[in-house]
Each structure stands twice: as C-alpha cells, then as structure tokens.
Structure 1
Amino acid sequence: MEYNIKAILDGLKQRISTNDELIIQTPGGNIEMAKFYFSPPAETEEIDRLSTLFQVNLPQEYREFLLQHNGAKLFDIGFGECTDIYSINEIVETAELMPDIVPNFIPVARHPSCTIFIDTSREKKYMFSQAGGSEFNFLAMSFKEWIETLILSSGNYFEERIPQLLFKTIDDSELKIKKWLIEGYKL
C-alpha cells in the first residue's frame, strides 16, 4: 500500500463501524466511543481559490486531503473533545478572527487545547500548534505525518506529550529555541 493521505484515511475508515464509531482508549485508561464525520471532497477550484486568497502554495499532502474531504471531525467523544480539521470555509472564517497571525500561517485544525497551523513558507516539516498567546510550537511534521500520528494516537493530544523545543511568535517568525532548553530544565 502506498504511503499517502488516501492510504492513511482508508486505514482509519476500515476500523470504523458502519455507525461511524470506533472504540478508543483515552488517557488514564478510559474507554470511549468516538464518532467520525468526513465531509465530501473539495473541488480543485475551491482549493485554488484558497491558495489565491492567502497568496500561498498549499502543501501537496494538504491539497490531497482536501480532495478527499473538505473537512472532518475525528475522534469525537462529546463535550468538544475531538479534532476538527477545518473545511475551506472554516479556514477562511477562522483566519479572519485571528488578527495579525504570523505571515504564511493558515489555521487548518482545532483540538480542544490548541489550533493547528500550516506554515506555507516551509517546504518540509511545516506544522505548528498554538495553545493561545503569541507562541506557535513547531511540531516538526508534515500534514501527512501529523494526521497519521493523530490517528495512531487515537485522537489523543500527542502534541502535549512531546517537548516543544522550537517555536515562533507573532512578533518574530524566526524559529527559536525554548528558553527552558537554553537555561536548562529545572523541576
């Protein structure tokens, strides 16, 4: 099987029941029934309009996702605990609500604890998260790697479990090393 967005999503869909549900384990050992919603594909013209609106080239893997599904809700266990991968319209609406985001950052998804962005100025390893404030954490992943890791972690917020060593801020879009790493980690 070829390693691409379609193969990753097809693998997930094979595990989902006919009711669009999957039993998952959440942190702490709890078992939950997660629901899944996949939107119909986006048209190539819609994706091209998004690129034109933001004046960027979208990563090929992300374009492939939109051609499969113009948005999705993954691992929905209720109470807002899910991952929303935005539709093109939701991307535009969300971007309008975020004043002065770092240039070339496009909001593409939301966890309850953070927003996920693509930095279109980077060709590889272009995913970032933001939990609020001016700091964007560098995830060092492509969209394909991000969505695969999300699926393999059963929708659990793996971003919180990995040390965020590098970041960007709204005021300065250069990658910087976290202060605690430079000064040494203190318990």
Structure 2
Amino acid sequence: MTSFVQNTVHGLKSLLDQNGVIRILGSEGEITDALVTFSGSGASQSDIRAFETHHQLSLPDDYKKFLTLHNGARIFDSLLDGVNIGGGLHLFNIKEIDTELKDEELYEDVSGIPIGHLLEECDLMIDRDRLKEGDPNYLYLLEDGLEYKPLDLNFEIFLDRYVMCHGQPFWEWRYYTAENYYRI
C-alpha cells in the first residue's frame, strides 16, 4: 500500500499564506479563516522505534509517515478577528502521546493510543486491538471520555478527508435531501 499522507500535507501547505492561514468556505456560504501549523521537523526513525519499543506496539505505517514529516500539527484552528480560538485538530507529537498514555485512568476502558484532540471535544485514537489484528480501519473517536466510536478509517484517509472538508466533522454528516435539510 502506498501512503499519500505526504501529498495531503504538501497540498494543504501549498494553500496557506505566509502566516499559516487559510481562508475556507464553510456550510451555507460562511467564509472563515483558519490557522494551520506543523512542527518544524519530523520525528526520527529511532525516536519512533524507541516509542514503539517502550509501549510494546507497532504504529501503523501511514501514521509513522506523518510523524516523520511533522512530529505534530494543529490543523484548522479557528481564527476570530485574527486571534486563534482553537477548535481544530491537534495531532500530538510523540512526547505528547507518551504523556497522554501515562493518564491510564482516562484510557482504562479502551484499547487505544491517543494521537490527537479533535474539535476540543474528543480524542482521536488508534485502536490497539484492531492494529494487532491487522485491521486497516483502526481509527476511533473517544468522545467526552465516554463513548468509543469506530471511524472505520485509517490515518491517511481520515487526514485526507478532514483536509478536503476544511475541518468539518465529515463522519457525522447525514444524507440530506431538499425535503429533510430544512427540518433540522
């Protein structure tokens, strides 16, 4: 399987202005500015191997590819009058993942590796059990520390869709017709 994480990241970066801002068209014609920041450098292969050895796991190849490009990122944080008010996707660097994993209480009922915060309401998780089984649909959301919900995606497809949808929660979209759209 070929990873297209690099293409997604480079494509997004090409749309940013010199300050990392992108103007996006949202639902019903709303235009907003969002901030995108990537860590200055990627994680080394030896740092990734040390993390995997310490936690006795093997991260998925597409996610490792992202870490080697950028060891962490913030994607589509909302800007209000030029001030970052958050709300986007915070992809953790390796040290942040390690710190999150030390909070065993938060993750005791799930078999997940937290790799980011999403919309400041939930954690983006790699499911350890699915990973061990070789299931490519290993991403989950842990919402409010309570509901562990499968996304049925891997990291690169999630990232690609998240970027294409300008940070909108595409996994929650329902099918709308002209009849039912206005009833909501």
TM-score of the pair, normalised by structure 1: 0.79
C-alpha contact 2:141 2:148 (8 A) present in aligned 1: yes
1:135 to 147, 155, 162: 147
Residue 181 of structure 1: aligned partner: none
**What secondary structure, in the 3-state scheme, does the structure 2 residue paired with 1:13 have?**
helix
C-alpha contact 1:109 1:117 (8 A) present in aligned 2: yes
Q: CA deviation at 1:119?
A: 1.2
2:26 paired with 1:20: no
C-alpha contact 2:142 2:148 (8 A) present in aligned 1: yes
Rounded Cα–Cα distance in structure 2 between residues aligned with 1:87 and 1:101: 23
Residue 41 of structure 1: aligned partner: 42
Rounded Cα–Cα distance in structure 2 between residues aligned with 1:127 and 1:17: 31
**What secondary structure, in the 3-state scheme, does the structure 2 residue paired with 1:156 have?**
coil
Q: CA deviation at 1:133?
A: 4.0
Q: CA deviation at 1:28?
A: 5.0
Q: CA deviation at 1:11?
A: 1.1
Residue 122 of structure 2: aligned partner: 114
Q: CA deviation at 1:8?
A: 1.2
Q: CA deviation at 1:18?
A: 2.0
Q: How many residue pairs are counted as aligned between the two chains? A: 161
TM-score of the pair, normalised by structure 2: 0.80
Identity among equivalent positions (%) equals 27
Rounded Cα–Cα distance in structure 2 between residues aligned with 1:162 and 1:63: 31
Q: 1:162 to 1:92 in 2, by over 3 A?
A: farther
Q: CA deviation at 1:3?
A: 5.5
> How do 1:41-60 and structure 2 match up within 5 A?
41-60=42-61
Q: CA deviation at 1:156?
A: 1.4
2:98 paired with 1:92: yes
**What secondary structure, in the 3-state scheme, does the structure 2 residue paired with 1:79 have?**
strand
C-alpha contact 1:59 1:120 (8 A) present in aligned 2: no
**What secondary structure, in the 3-state scheme, does the structure 1 residue paired with 2:36 have?**
strand
Structure 1 residue ranges (4+ consecutive) displaced by more than 6 angstroms after TM superposition: none
* Cα shift readout 1:60-119 (whole Å, capped 9, x = no counterpart): 00010000000000111132211100000111111222421423x100011122110011
Q: CA deviation at 1:136?
A: 0.8
Aligned-partner residue type, residue 49 of structure 1: A
C-alpha contact 1:15 1:22 (8 A) present in aligned 2: yes
Question: Structure 2, unaligned stretches of length 5 or more?
Answer: 79-83, 176-184
Residue 172 of structure 2: aligned partner: 160
